[in-house]
Structures are given as C-alpha cells and as structure tokens.
Amino acid sequence: MKVVVVGSGLIGLTSAYFLSARGHEVVVLERQEGPGRETSFANGTLLTPSMPEPWNAPGCWRMLLSSLGRSDAPLSLRLKALPAIGGWGVRFLRESSSRRFESNTRKNMKLALYSLEVMARLRERTPIEYGRTARGTLKIFRDPSALDRAVAATGALASGGLTFKPLTARQTIELEPALAPIGKQLAGALHSPKDETGDAYRFCSALAGHLREEGVEFRFGTAVTALEARGGEITAVVTGRERVTADRYLVATGSYSHPLLKGIGLSLPVRPAKGYSVTFDASPTEPPLRIPIVDDDFHAAIVPFAGGLRVAGTAEFAGYDLALRPERVANLLTLLRQVLPQAKVAAAAAKPWCGLRPMSADGVPIVGPAPLANLYVNTGHGHLGWTMAAGSGALLADLLSSVRPAIDPAPYALARFTASVPAE
C-alpha cells in the first residue's frame, strides 16, 4: 500500500521506518526544510522508561493554580491558554485521580520498555549513529522523606520490568563525582540503569538519510493545509501546491495534529505543553558530568551531551506560543548553578530553545486508527516522545499492516476517548 506520513519528527520518522520495513510505499510530508526541526530538535536527550508518570499527577490542580503569575513554577498555566483547553482540561484533571494516574503510568511504562527493545533492533539493522550512551540516570533528592516516598513508589514499576538502585549521598557522589560540591545537601538518589541518552535531532537526520536510501520519498518544505475527507475516509492530503493521494494516511504532527484533524470534524484530545532547554557546546564543569541528573525539586534534567551539556525541563501551558520567555530560560540556568555550583555558566554561551510537547488528556500516547477508515494517528507522547518513539512507530506499522502487535494496542487507542471527550 501507499502510505502518506504527515510529519518528520521522531514519531513520524520511526513510523515511516517500520511502515517501509513492512513493504509499504511511504511518502513523508514535512513543512520544515528538513527532519526533526520542531519538537524533536533540542529535547532533553533522555530515553527514560524509569519516569513513565504522566504530568497530571494527583493534586496537579493545586500546582497549576499556584503557578498563575509565577515564572518559576515547574508546571505553569497561562491564562490566555484557558479557552483552548476546554474539555481537554476537564479530562486532564479527571485522569489525575490516584487510580487513573497509576493505571496510565503502567501503560506508559509498558510502551517505554517495549520501545527500548525496538530501538535496540533498529540500531542493529541500520547504520545510523546518534551519540547514544547507556549509563542510566540519577534522580537526586535533598529531602529524606521525598527519597523514601520515591523508593517506595518504585515497587510497582520494578514489578513491571524496571530497575532502580537507591543510593546514599556518599554512594551518589561515588557514582557521579561532579555532584561532590552539593554532597552535604543530598539525602541520596535513585539510579535507573536502563535509561539511555541520545541526540534526537541527530537520530532524525540519520534515520531520514537511511530511509531515503531505502526508497522512502521525502517532500520537505511542504505544509499540509488540510485533509480531504469523503464517504467516511480520507481522499487526499492537501498542500499549498497539490493534492497527495494514498491508500492510508498517518498524522504524526505532534501538537499540530489537533488543529489539522479538527478540520475534518475530529476532536483529538491533544494539546501543546511548551518545554525549554539550554545547550552548552562545551562542558561548563570540571570534572565533566558523566551521568544525566534529574532534580526532583526542580523537575528538570542536566545531561552530558556531545562534549557539552544540556539542561531541559519545565512545562508551560501557553497554547501554540513559541516565544522564548527569558525568565523560563533563567530558571534552567539557576538549576544548573544549584546542582553544579562549580559550573562556569555564561549566559552568552547558552543556546536556549523551546518546543511544544503534544500532551494527551490522560498522559498516554494515541497510536492507531482514527474514526475514518484509512486514517491513523501517532501523537500525544508528551515528555516521553523520544523514549517511546521506536515502540510507537512499530506499533503503528503493525496496526496499519493488520499484523498482530507485540504489545496490546488497546491502552493507546484513540477509541478510549470517544465516549468522554466533548467535541470542541
């Protein structure tokens, strides 16, 4: 079959890879001039099955309310975004009950672990290289009670296949000497050895190059303006220059999947959550950081990255606003100074960036068929897009190809929202 994939970020490209591997003719349409240039461009670089929790944790409404007017809140809600959230926001808060949050966490964990397995096979079968490391992550804690709660919470995740190693403050410093200057502040850490890192943009560029050699067609600089629907199915993708027809169509345009599908009367429960990162081309610390650090207090990560360093985190519900807010960038630099006080942080050397993470209403990705007969979606991964990309692409390709997937697709189906998300 001929399949048109709209979007060439991590999700679109991994979907294209597995669709091509299934023998389909694949055409990828992308409005940017190359792959991975939007949300996949400068993300946190982390593949973290150890952190499968959705952002709508129990009590998140308190955090959102307290964030109004604050620039330093890890999870921030801007008033101008409220009208666009609507029914999505109601579902987002409803899914924050303890029972639903725990269920959604397990769903994410299963897809994340599957995705790491799929990524390993993808590396074996392709020549691509993207700066992968497999040293795990260190989540640090300053409050002993917070560490105790985190250790207790690992039980359910460990039973699902994850591995955690609680560390004392001394053991934490032994594993990562760059943390020695704040050793007296630390209660300890959780080491998650299965976590990995990699340059998502480099991965996208390399995979797109490989796919071209395998016969996948890319049309960059091609903005899709509409989907054309008739008789219960998609009949064409409309761009500024032409109508592109196929047997099957996949929308993998991240946060922009919602407005695109809204044009054919489909309300996709996905909204943008803006995340920030700051990249330093050279390491500002001595000794250089070796293991990615996740700070439990600041809900952000510091990651050694291609000889340099990247600080990433925060979530801001601000609609489709891509403006770089200086105070949010400053928050990441403050985090870097507090975790690595020996860092020589020069604001002029920092490369700030922001991107729109596609957040589903329940914090679980949406992968599979849409209500129209030949339409599929792959989006809603939130902060776990890099972690889940390979597994989501494989799952999507199996479903489109009528092949039984390796994992149960029901938890990730769009149909789970049908009865409870109002049209907007």
Domain ranges of the chain: 2-132+197-269+362-417
Stretch 401-420: mean pLDDT: 91
Cis peptide before 287 (omega within 30 of 0): yes
Residue 38 is predicted with a pLDDT of 96
Name the amino acid, one letter, at 399.
Answer: L
115-141 burial, b at 16+ Cβ within 10 Å, e below that, comes to: bbebbeebeeebebebebbebbbbbbb
| Whether residue 144 has pLDDT greater than 90 | yes
> Alpha-carbon distance 16 to 390, whole Å?
11
Please report the DSSP string for 111-174 in residue order.
HHHHHHHHHHHHHHHS------B---EEEEESSHHHHHHHHHHHHHHHTTT---EEE-HHHHHH
Q: What would the two tokens of residue 274 be?
A: 């803006």
Stretch 135-164: mean pLDDT: 93
Residue 424 is predicted with a pLDDT of 38
Look up the pTM and report it: 0.94
> Alpha-carbon distance 134 to 136, whole Å?
6
Q: What would the two tokens of residue 122 be?
A: 């993808």
* pLDDT band with cut points at 50, 70 and 90 for residue 81: low
| Whether residue 279 has pLDDT greater than 90 | yes
Distance of CA 124 to the CA centre of its chain: 23
Scanning the structure block, which residue is given the tokens 């597995």? 18
> Alpha-carbon distance 303 to 294, whole Å?
9
* pLDDT band with cut points at 50, 70 and 90 for residue 55: confident
Topology of domain 2-132+197-269+362-417, CATH:
FAD/NAD(P)-binding domain (3.50.50)
